[in-house]
Amino acid sequence: MSKKVEALKQKVLQAQEKSDLAALYVLQEEAYEIFDEDTLNGFFANILDLALENLTNALEACVKLDTEDVQDFATLRALYEYAMEHYHAGAIKDASALFEVLSGITDDELFSKALKYHYKASQNGINLDTFMDEYADMELTQANNTFYISCFTKKAQKLLDIKKNIAEK
In this prediction, residue 92 carries a pLDDT of 95
Please state the domain extents for the chain. Answer: 92-169
In this prediction, residue 162 carries a pLDDT of 60
Q: How confident is the model at residue 159 (pLDDT cuts 50, 70, 90)?
A: confident
Q: Is the pLDDT of residue 71 over 80?
A: yes
Mean pLDDT on 120-141: 95
Percent of the chain at pLDDT > 70 equals: 95
Crossing angle of the two packed helices 37-61 and 70-88, in degrees rounded to 10 = 120
In this prediction, residue 110 carries a pLDDT of 96
In this prediction, residue 1 carries a pLDDT of 63
d(CA 101, CA 138): 23
Mean pLDDT on 14-22: 94
The neighbouring-strand residues paired with 152 are 136
d(CA 129, CA 5): 36
